[in-house]
Amino acid sequence: MVGGGFFSAGGSLSNSHLARLLSDGTLDTTFSTGPDGISSTVWCLAVDSDGRVVIGGDLSNDQQYIRPHIARLNVDGSVDGSFLPTNTIDGSVLALAIQTNHSVIIGGSFYSQGTVPGYLARLNADGTTDTTFDGYLSGAVYAIAIQTDGKIVIGGNFQTVGGASRRNLARLSRMARWTTPFKLVCKASLPQCVACKSRRMARFSLAVISPRSTIRIAVMWRV
């Protein structure tokens, strides 16, 4: 699966902003999101164990069942009507990850999701908001990764999580309660380590490497 700001794939507008490629790199023509494709940039996506695709970004609600900024698609690219977010997300979804129970952790630059605080939230498998999940971040989330033990690692342009100092990188429990700070060893020759000094961040990506849940970080700074 590939998502982004492109307007067509393989010459087809039905694959604008989102497409599926076969193992040889050619376009999978059995996957289509409709004659006009997705309305706006797809910033993040994840595939669940049933093959459904959850996408987040700048999406508008101009397609059937799609709610602003988040949607779930069936294996063929059609909109999954059983995924209906109850609260309106008021900004871009820039990162997401799917838990084993099909709940979706979303992060981004949104200030709120209904009455739920912004930047980080969890949606249940049907799209409704999980009100027991409360990260209370001070800034945007650009990356989310889930460890094998279920803990959630987030990266972004925040300074605090739940009122505690967590600059740019934090690890949360399954219920979004922040955990004891973990030791960060920076092996790159960066002028300032991401966890030590806040800078203007343009992109942030995370990957959790099994079996030791080693965390790999990639950051692009805005000049």
Burial pattern 182-196, b for ≥16 Cβ within 10 A else e, equals eeeeeeeeeeebbbe
* pLDDT of 157 higher than 60: yes
Which is nearest to 56 in space by CA: 7, 127, 114? Answer: 127
**Domain interval for residue 37:** 2-221
- What's the pTM value of the predicted model, to 2 decimals? 0.81
- Domain CATH code at residue 212: 2.120.10
Give the chain's domain count.
Answer: 1
User: Virtual CA dihedral for 11, 15, 20, 26, nearest 10 degrees?
Assistant: 0
CA distance linking residue 101 with residue 122, whole number of Å: 12
pLDDT in tens, 198-213: 445 555 566 665 555 5
Note the pLDDT of residue 193.
Answer: 44
Note the pLDDT of residue 76.
Answer: 93
